[in-house]
Amino acid sequence: MLPLDPQADMGRRAWVACPNCDDARGCGPCEERRTCSTHWRYMLSNTGSLLHLQCPGCTHVWEHESGFGATRSLWKRLSSGLPGL
């Protein structure tokens, strides 16, 4: 298990399912895609619409393409190996 990243800050959070522990399964607000006071993730940084996240429960670190806001070009999304849209 990894330690929390030094960039982890409760002020920068995201509500995205953790691909490692799936801790939000069975949570009413999470299943309805609403914010939940329990199942949030640290947003360590972002590059445009690409979020760098860490789960506070299992400390898993991953990238998530939100497709929101200042998105990267379609070519950069495709060439990075992440889903295009």
Q: pLDDT for 36-56, tens place per residue? A: 899 999 999 988 888 999 999
pLDDT tier, 82 (very low <50, low <70, confident <90, very high otherwise): low
Contact 48, 70 (CB under 8 A): yes
Residue type, 67: G
Q: Which two tokens stand for residue 37?
A: 């006071």
pTM: 0.73
Mean of pLDDT values over 60-81: 72
User: In this model, does residue 23 exceed pLDDT 70?
Assistant: yes
Separation between Cα atoms, residue 75 and residue 41, nearest integer Å? 27
Mean of pLDDT values over 22-27: 90
**Number of residues written out for the chain:** 85
